[in-house]
Chain A
Amino acid sequence: MEFFANFLETDSFPPRWPCGTWSSGHGWLHICSDLATFAAYMTIPFVLLYFLRKRPDLPFPRIFYMFAMFIFACGTVHGIEAVIFWWPVYRVSGVFKLLTAIVSWGTVIQIFKSAPRALRMRMAEELEAEILQRRRVEEQLLENQQLVIQSERLSAIGQAMTGLIHESRNALARSQAGLRLLAREVKSRDELLELIEESLSAQHDLKQLFEVVRQYAVPPPIQREEARIPDLVDGVFARVSDTLGLHDAKIEHKLLTSDVNCHVDKLLMENVFRNLIENSFAACADPLRLSFTYSDAEIGGAPAIEINYLDNGPGMRPEEAKRAFEAFYTTKMHGTGLGLAICQQTVQSHGGTISLNPEREHGAEFAITLLRQSQ
């Protein structure tokens, strides 16, 4: 009680300046340092409290409060240490040191209590990576949902188309049978035979169109097997050359990878290459030069092969190139407009991509990327 009764009493102690042999520099070094620390320690609690007010979601608010009190207590001790050089309030100093000790230990206890939870907390980078990963999964999910919807739509369209084509082909067969029977009756009338032939030819074109539309509407299932892509291309090139054989045509393969094998449906991929090569034959003047370049690629981190196809024809205008894969879009007089659409469908069903370089001024340039294995 006597201690607190004489709490601010200073007669029992000398101020620090006259106590000992302080040089001016040494004394002010202590005073200035203590005052600077005092000022900083008085500021820090306010900053911490400001943070807590602005970000009430911050974890471990108690630790923030304890630190604010602890720093504040330390600051007062430093302030009193500076004052003691003139005003020896050692009792006040002692009490504040005791308070500082209590608050310090309170803070230590609070830190220990919060440590397990703090150790379990993930870093911002980890959380960001997880958010990114989740976003990717969500995007993939959305993409898959869209693919399912598209696939269901295509399936419905395909069924309707198959029925329509089936019935149309029956009607076509009747019509062709009638015309052929008619041709037998008018054997001596050349002008009539010519008309019948024209009609039969038009019906043949219609039948071909039905076949292509059916192929687009109801794509066949993929049956993958290992194939050496340049061999597939060579086989197609030989067959197209035989069929359209008037061209001075040459093909070149550039292998930028040692592995040119890929698991594909041979028939379907041959159809893709046939389409591209036939388009080149139709568009290019002699001499026709075709180039296939093979290199390693990746699709979503999975190993893939990139096939770059280039001809020496006039190529496509940018506005044509943009629409090249649209169904029923054609630049030919007698095209169905489904060739490249079916190519795209086939490549996509292999988990790959096909694109046309719209910037190329001379020649048509296609890039096909195919997964080496199915996933």
Chain B
Amino acid sequence: MKTQRRVVVADDEPLLVRELVAYLEDMGHLVVGTAANGCELVECVRETLPDVVITDIKMPMKDGLEAAREIWSSSPMPVILVSAFHDEDFIAQTKSEQILSYIVKPVDENQLATAVGKLDGTS
């Protein structure tokens, strides 16, 4: 049985946030906050202390990876990165135990379920 997870979603595109929220709610997870840039994401995570963060990489003010590093400095939060491109070099550079998964846009519902499912050790 899958555990309900508390999730924070960040993307500078409101439509993509809405889509992710819809998928996550369909899967039975609870979206406790959304953010449109890296600064908002860090703030939101501090306030809501989610189980997992799903964030776009390219965002204004502070990108997703920068925000994730700031979050990790206070707590080892699992992060799912979302990007428009599948970039092997980038993945190699950002290898971190806290990165749960790396999803290429457009986000597929099954991919998202697999990524979040890694928290349970299932997919």
Given contacts A166-B85, A181-B22, A184-B22, contact A172 B106 (CB under 8 A): yes
Do B15 and A178 have beta carbons less than 8 Å apart? yes
Interface string of A63-98 (1 = CB under 8 A from B): 000000000000000000000000000000000000
Alpha-carbon gap, A207 to B104, bound state (A): 12
Do B13 and A177 have beta carbons less than 8 Å apart? yes
Do A174 and B15 have beta carbons less than 8 Å apart? yes
Given contacts A178-B15, A181-B15, contact A173 B84 (CB under 8 A): yes
Q: Which A residues between 147 and 204 are near B, CB-CB below 8 angstroms? A: 166, 169-170, 172-174, 176-178, 180-181, 184
Do A169 and B84 have beta carbons less than 8 Å apart? yes
Alpha-carbon gap, A235 to B85, bound state (A): 27
Confirm or deny: B16 has a beta carbon within 8 angstroms of a beta carbon on chain A. Answer: yes
Confirm or deny: B118 has a beta carbon within 8 angstroms of a beta carbon on chain A. Answer: no
A184: which B residues are within 8 A, CB to CB?
22
Interface residue tally on A, bucketed by range? 10 to 19
Do A173 and B105 have beta carbons less than 8 Å apart? yes
Given contacts A169-B105, A176-B106, contact A181 B19 (CB under 8 A): yes
A235–chain B nearest beta-carbon distance, Å: 21
Alpha-carbon gap, A169 to B57, bound state (A): 14
A180: which B residues are within 8 A, CB to CB?
19
Alpha-carbon gap, A314 to B114, bound state (A): 45
A178: which B residues are within 8 A, CB to CB?
15
A176: which B residues are within 8 A, CB to CB?
106
Max chain B CB contacts within 10 Å: which of A172, A173, A176, A178?
A: A173
- Secondary structure at the A interface, as helix, strand, loop or mixed, is helix
Confirm or deny: B18 has a beta carbon within 8 angstroms of a beta carbon on chain A. Answer: yes
User: What residue of chain A has the Cβ atom nearest to residue B82's Cβ?
Assistant: A173
A174: which B residues are within 8 A, CB to CB?
13, 15-16
Do A170 and B84 have beta carbons less than 8 Å apart? yes
Given contacts A169-B105, A172-B106, A184-B22, contact A177 B85 (CB under 8 A): no
Interface string of B38-61 (1 = CB under 8 A from A): 000000000000000000000000
User: What residue of chain B has the Cβ atom nearest to residue A171's Cβ?
Assistant: B13
Do A170 and B18 have beta carbons less than 8 Å apart? no
Q: Which B residues between 80 and 123 are near A, CB-CB below 8 angstroms? A: 84-85, 105-106
A339–chain B nearest beta-carbon distance, Å: 20
B15: which A residues are within 8 A, CB to CB?
174, 177-178, 181
B84: which A residues are within 8 A, CB to CB?
166, 169-170, 173
Do B18 and A173 have beta carbons less than 8 Å apart? no
A contact residues vs B (CB 8 Å cutoff) = 166, 169-170, 172-174, 176-178, 180-181, 184, 207
Considering the complex of A and B, which 3 residue pairs feature the smallest CB-CB distances, nearest first? Answer: A177-B19, A173-B105, A177-B15
Other A-B contacts than A169-B85, A177-B13, A181-B19, 16 sampled, CB-CB below 8 A, are A166-B84, A166-B85, A169-B84, A170-B13, A170-B105, A173-B16, A174-B13, A174-B15, A176-B106, A177-B16, A177-B18, A177-B106, A180-B19, A181-B18, A181-B22, A184-B22
23 A-B pairs whose Cβ atoms sit less than 8 Å apart in the complex: A166-B84, A166-B85, A169-B84, A169-B85, A170-B13, A170-B84, A172-B106, A173-B13, A173-B16, A173-B84, A173-B106, A174-B13, A176-B106, A177-B15, A177-B19, A177-B106, A178-B15, A180-B19, A181-B15, A181-B19, A181-B22, A184-B22, A207-B106
